[in-house]
Structure 1
Amino acid sequence: MSATWDEAESRALPAPRTRVGRFSFDTGAGVWEWDDEVYRILGLQPRSITPATEYMVSSKDPEDRARVADILVRARSAGKPTSVSYCLAAADGVERRVLIVCEAAACAESASGPAINGHYIDLTADFRRDSEKVARQAVMDSAQHRATIERAIGALMVGYSLNADQAFDTLRWWSQNKNVKLRELAGRLIEAASTGATSDVRTRKSFDVLLHDVSMHRPPRGGDALPGS
């Protein structure tokens, strides 16, 4: 069921747009060059400010800021491809999940020092889509478990002549004392009931009488009475 839903949703919704920008950083002069997409990912209008490191490392998490600063240092000193993913606190007030990728082949010497080239990637849409899928599945699983427990409660209400609260307390008692999860115990009970383990000829006869009486708006009789008697 969930697979069918996911397939239908994938066809109905557009694929999330992953934005990719390009940058160059002259580490000796401390000068950045950004394309328009980098500006947009950072929450800025293209060419609206002079590119600066402070925008690239902007994050509410101090550890993220330190990791971004560290990758720039390592890209300069090691000359190897490096990357870091972090949560950007963009200038437009939006938090975005972004990825910086420094390319090894682009770490060439400029007149003032090593120049780091790379990509700046906005992964926010991908993360949001995955999060929504996980949340939706959790809701579906929760609804399924609740339905199973409610069916088990109904079975206990019938079997022991209990009200709903009493039936739930009974199910919970068995769950706690036998160290079995409530939904698992409920599932076992429903599975057993579906195989006929909770029914016999006398029980079915009693239900025949009960269904006949309530359908005819008559007071319920004893289990041994037959319809029409």
Structure 2
Amino acid sequence: MNSGHTPAERTFDGALEEVFAGGIRPPVGRYRLDLATGEWAWSDEVYEMHGFEPGQIVPTTPLMLSHKHPDDRARVGGVLRRAAETGRPFSSVHRIRDAHGATRTLAVTGQGRRDPATGQVVELFGYFIDVTDSHREAAAREATASIQASAEKRAVIEQAKGVLMVVYGVEEAAAFDLLRQASNAANIAVRHIAQTLVELFSGPGVTVFPTREAIDEFLRHPKPPADD
């Protein structure tokens, strides 16, 4: 990935790198899209999400769209076109078919960068987040009333912590403190708050990754899972 990040990008990137250095690897990858050439710059994680070895292919917009699930392709293409036109922050949750034919669910967030001289949007940049596992778990909760095993309960807390680490740029302990504070204030178990938080960005029918403001509001007024 090339340099020249804005201060906001450097802050977010630095927080993620601190998380990774501490041994916690949320399924998050960075990207940049050059609107003039249509070529993408992917971090290693994004290659892996799409079923490739890092650097194995040159990612382009046609190739990227070809991996989108047929039912989601037009919508994702529209999101990218609007982002390229406006430069405004955007988000989407959609399915892809990776290079091995497996279906995965990704959330993508980003925004545009304008050329200071022309004012035109010349680049999109942001993050892919692989929410496949949590998406499957949410679907499974709708299909069965089975009680989750303790390992699954721990997993959803880890997923929720990962989201908070990315959104707020904090370390693992601070992310868990946010969940615990919300739990104490609302008298709701931490695992129930974590489950509802994960459903905000990976539940069935979700197509837009929640904004930081939405997550702020959730932590101020958390609710237990709908099926609890």
TM-score, structure 2 as length reference: 0.47
Q: Which has the higher contact order (CA 8 A, sep 6+)?
A: 2
TM-score, structure 1 as length reference: 0.47
Between structure 1 and structure 2, the one with the greater Rg is 1
